[in-house]
Structure 1
Amino acid sequence: MRGFLIITALCAASLTVSAQPKPKKAAPAATSASDGGYHIPVTITPLKNCWVYIGCYYGKFRNLSDSAWLDENSKTVFEGKTKLPGGVYFLVNSQHVILQESDFLMDDKQQFSVSADTLKSGVTITGSEENDIYQQYTNFLAEKTPVLTGLQAELKQAKSKADSTRIQEQLVANNKELNDFRESLITRYPKSMLALFLNAIKTPEPPPAPKLANGRTDSLFPAYYIKNHYWDNVPLHDDRLLRTPFFDGLKLEPYLKYYVRPEADSVIEDVNYILLLSRGGKDMFKYLLGRFTDKYINPEIMGQDKVFIFLFNNYYSKGDTSWLSAKQKEFIFNRAYSLMANQIGEQAAALDLVDTSGKAMPMYALKAPFTFLIFWDPNCGHCKETVPRIDSIYRAKWKAKGVKIYAVNIDEKANDAWKKYVKDNHLNGWYHTYQTKAQRDADVAAGRANYRQLYDVFQTPTMYLLDDQKRIIGKKLTIEQFDEVMSAKKKQP
């Protein structure tokens, strides 16, 4: 199996979890940030004579932003000539472990001091109004979170309906207190960074659902209302949202999971809307483009790779990704070209290969209601598990339905092992083929894409299901799912 979960990092200027700045000793405390930089004296007891760091959140990632030498008095100064991006930051010890509950806000006024004790939770911030507000919130959370956690644990252990009802009521009451406190902070400090963050994580509250023509309440109204207003209070152009621990997990991911329909065209509409809203935020746009690329370049749901093709055609190929290296661009472009040729509903590319005896065996010569196409390798462990299972369902069900199996050995150097495996496992009734070296050389000489690119064959086994017109109707599913697709298609008028 191959993975593509590096794309978000690539599109986020190659930031990674392990990224860290080159260590440097802190400058003298007399230096000021009045020139537009930052100056943050820090005390971390009882640590001394070691490197420490400040880091920030970056969507799903956490990255180190600066380093400084903690002296024998447990003091240091983080400073630089250019201001740090706004967001939620944290302290990190010399072992790259984040200090417990050490979050603080980095606003536009980056001259304040931070004090922490590794034996205790939390930090003390001096000289920052934004962090004074933030401290009110974190202190309230420190009181309320254990209560909510305890009630949730009690609810799981409830032994009667009465107990469940009582605990549920307490949960509702405590959650209301938390929400009311958040609203009070927003009201009292509407221009604060915390207000921005708290407004962003809200879920829209739908009004009472209207009545349908038949007099029933429209049960779908709340979901549609939330979806249509989900991003109302979220300035996606503001990069500070990206540098928080909640944006991706508490805002973006739930939206993609619960409010976006799985059909590729619906996903495209939603992700494009989000990307357009984020265009004013340099880092947010990079992150979101990478995040969506990660999710849809090798999707969990069949056909959603069409979303990646859309991203490629509308963003990557138009030069909107100048921050990527040449190697990174090559990877994206190659993946796009491989996927373009095998989209669901499109005509399958012709395969004019030869069988075990060297005789021409064109795939389009097969006449069948369904053609099952598999690319495999006789030396591939996963293939040795999958191929017999395919043969079993072929003998039990597919053969009687007229299904034809067009199997391609992707390693012509292993032809002897391939032929032996076919014979030993009695893979009768299949159309066993491979591409000769002469055919491959002819493709190269003519500048034609080979079948590996046309069918995105970069792992084995790779499988497709074609209809009677050789259109792709299924790909990269389990054997059982391919069978379900056939059954569903048979039922269609």
Structure 2
Amino acid sequence: MRKSFILLVTSLLGLIQSYAQGYQITVELPNFKSGKCFLAHYMGKSTYLADSADVNSNGVAVLKKNEKLLPGIYLLVLPGKQHYIETLIDKQQTFSVSIDTTDLIKKTIYKNSPDNELFLSYNSFLGAQDALNRSIQEQMRNAKTAADSAKVFPLQQELGKKIQDFRNSFVTSHPGNILSTIFLAMKEPEVPKDHPTNDSLFAYHYFKGHYWEDVDLQTDRLVRTPILEGKLNKYFDQLVAPVPDSIIGECDALLAKTRKSKETFKFVLWWLTYHYETSPYMGMDAVFVHLVEKYYVAGDAFWLNEDQLSKIIDRAYALAPNLIGKQAAPLEFKDIISNPTSLYKIPGKYTVLVFWDPTCGHCKTEIPRLDSAYKASWKSKGVSMVGIKTEGTKEEWLKFIKDHDLKGWTHGYEPQAATNYRRLYDVYSTPMIYLLDEKKKIVAKKLGVEQLQEFINRSSVKNTGTKL
């Protein structure tokens, strides 16, 4: 896990908005005479401890602080951590609840908390659907043919409609309630059935265009629930084109909608930053760099201290020079016989630039595989191979080259590290592989042999063209 992510998480949880009044939740536990009761909250799909209190001999624990809790779905975790109930927190933060572990729904009673009385009625409704839900799940497990599965589908639709009808009725009857806000955010756009049949993308565009319509991004209510992170995951992983420019536009548009809520803005910016900094897909670091340059450098990450902010900005600046489409940084080095040379002096329709270490276990596997692909295919396509030693002694490096017959490569090392290649090419692990075009622009990076093979083959066909 990268340090910048750790900083983001720490700062995200560390800043709690203060109010003039605090909260007091009295928890009555007839099944306990000791132990500790915990209060936790969601932050996206994860949960974090907010408070705890000892259970006295009368089975009562009082959770109390002078700062109000941010709204959301909280968890009251009972002693032993074997049972918990979800509890809504919004404007009314002084209330009591009696929890009997023999029936966490029917025997839970709230006092002075209308929001949770309504939430309890919803959970009771869901509990009443358990028999049908269990029957559906059992039929799905026992389905052996497509026809068997088809029989279950109407039952699933019936259950889904019944639950959605309950939520819709609740929203109509209780506008402005925190549970209504949650239900609206959970609801997905319904594509009109009478849409144009000649437009194959109508359903996609309609669904995407109305995706955030019922999600209240201007209040803090959804941050401490699992709902917002789930919406973000689906939108950016399934609905947004996986192209940096498209993603950047969507990030900016969504963040603009959150500006009236500091907590929502903070969470969405954090989520996008982490999501694209750690993305396994090539080129997504451009989104991370954009977010840092536009929001963090501008001072919008108000929850970070100066040191935390500096480290995140430094990380973005380290990535910025080697984004896809950028001109590869000048690289001066010495070859095997210590003659000075340069990356830009090496001709090639494509250049595979590899930073590697003869003592690295992964390099010992990947470098021979790269060489095999080069000799079998890439060389005939005008590919040049450039390998730069990062660690290990010169003797170990030369022995590896000789033992594996790495002929045809331009091998180099930089004993003085004068070009600062580690920063310019973000060489934090090995092997670090770049694919450059004829003009030494970065067209791909961090690819394995198979991915490089596909990329070079596809690019070669594209550049060669076909005659009809």
| C-alpha distance in 2 between matches for 1:152 and 1:52 | 34
Pair 1:469-2:439 in alignment: yes
Q: Match for residue 453 of structure 1?
A: 423
**What's the CA shift for 1:451?**
0.9
2:454 to 465, 468, 484: 484
Q: Match for residue 466 of structure 2?
A: none
Give CA deviations for 1:37-62 in whole Å, capped at 9, x if unaligned. 22221123433333322111111321
Say whether the 8 Å CA contact 1:275–1:285 is kept in structure 2: yes
**What's the CA shift for 1:4?**
6.2
CA 1:3–1:378 in 2, change beyond 3 Å: closer, same or farther? farther
1:333 to 306, 313, 316: 313
**What's the CA shift for 1:343?**
1.3
Pair 1:268-2:248 in alignment: yes
Q: Match for residue 402 of structure 2?
A: 423
Give the match's secondary structure for 1:56.
strand
Give CA deviations for 1:328-349 in whole Å, capped at 9, x if unaligned. 2232122111111011111111
2:201 to 214, 220, 231: 220
Q: Match for residue 9 of structure 1?
A: 9
Task: Count residues with an aligned counterpart.
Answer: 459
| C-alpha distance in 1 between matches for 2:134 and 2:310 | 48
Runs of 5+ unmatched residues, structure 2: 464-468
Q: Match for residue 356 of structure 1?
A: 336
| C-alpha distance in 2 between matches for 1:304 and 1:329 | 21
How do 1:272-291 residues align onto structure 2 when only pairs under 5 Å count? 272-291=252-271
Give CA deviations for 1:249-306 in whole Å, capped at 9, x if unaligned. 2x22111121111011111111111111112222221121111111111322211211
TM-score with structure 2 length normalisation?
0.92
Q: Match for residue 148 of structure 2?
A: 163
How do 1:13-24 residues align onto structure 2 when only pairs under 5 Å count? 13-14=13-14
**What's the CA shift for 1:327?**
3.5
Say whether the 8 Å CA contact 1:209–1:217 is kept in structure 2: no
**What's the CA shift for 1:35?**
7.1
**What's the CA shift for 1:191?**
2.3
**Aligned-partner residue type, residue 107 of structure 1:** D
**What's the CA shift for 1:429?**
1.3
**What's the CA shift for 1:248?**
1.2
Q: Match for residue 216 of structure 2?
A: 235
CA 1:318–1:149 in 2, change beyond 3 Å: closer, same or farther? farther
CA 1:466–1:38 in 2, change beyond 3 Å: closer, same or farther? same
Pair 1:176-2:164 in alignment: no
Pair 1:200-2:175 in alignment: no
Q: Match for residue 434 of structure 1?
A: 413
| C-alpha distance in 2 between matches for 1:454 and 1:149 | 57
Give the match's secondary structure for 1:373.
strand
**What's the CA shift for 1:8?**
4.6
Pair 1:77-2:58 in alignment: no
**What's the CA shift for 1:432?**
1.1
CA 1:258–1:282 in 2, change beyond 3 Å: closer, same or farther? same
**Aligned-partner residue type, residue 465 of structure 1:** L
Give the match's secondary structure for 1:301.
coil
Say whether the 8 Å CA contact 2:381–2:460 is kept in structure 1: no
**What's the CA shift for 1:481?**
1.0
Give the match's secondary structure for 1:464.
strand
Give the match's secondary structure for 1:173.
helix
| C-alpha distance in 2 between matches for 1:78 and 1:474 | 54
Give CA deviations for 1:17-42 in whole Å, capped at 9, x if unaligned. xx9xxxxxxxxxxxxxx973222211
Q: Match for residue 402 of structure 1?
A: 382
Give the match's secondary structure for 1:72.
coil
How do 1:118-197 residues align onto structure 2 when only pairs under 5 Å count? 118=101, 120-122=103-105, 123-145=108-130, 147-197=132-182
Runs of 5+ unmatched residues, structure 1: 20-33, 444-449
2:33 to 48, 63, 67: 48
CA 1:478–1:158 in 2, change beyond 3 Å: closer, same or farther? same
Q: Match for residue 226 of structure 2?
A: 245
Say whether the 8 Å CA contact 1:11–1:286 is kept in structure 2: no
CA 1:46–1:483 in 2, change beyond 3 Å: closer, same or farther? same
| C-alpha distance in 2 between matches for 1:410 and 1:3 | 23
**Aligned-partner residue type, residue 199 of structure 1:** L
Q: Match for residue 386 of structure 1?
A: 366
Q: Match for residue 72 of structure 2?
A: 87
CA 1:161–1:333 in 2, change beyond 3 Å: closer, same or farther? closer
Pair 1:115-2:89 in alignment: no
| C-alpha distance in 2 between matches for 1:13 and 1:302 | 30
| C-alpha distance in 2 between matches for 1:461 and 1:162 | 50
Percent of aligned pairs with the same amino acid: 37
| C-alpha distance in 1 between matches for 2:146 and 2:269 | 47
Give CA deviations for 1:69-109 in whole Å, capped at 9, x if unaligned. 211121121122222111111112456x3734x00111211
Say whether the 8 Å CA contact 1:2–1:459 is kept in structure 2: no
2:238 to 245, 248, 258: 258
**What's the CA shift for 1:171?**
1.2
Give the match's secondary structure for 2:74.
strand
Say whether the 8 Å CA contact 1:303–1:343 is kept in structure 2: yes
| C-alpha distance in 2 between matches for 1:146 and 1:345 | 57
Say whether the 8 Å CA contact 2:185–2:227 is kept in structure 1: no
**What's the CA shift for 1:473?**
0.6
Q: Match for residue 30 of structure 1?
A: none
TM-score with structure 1 length normalisation?
0.88
CA 1:48–1:378 in 2, change beyond 3 Å: closer, same or farther? farther
Give the match's secondary structure for 1:248.
helix
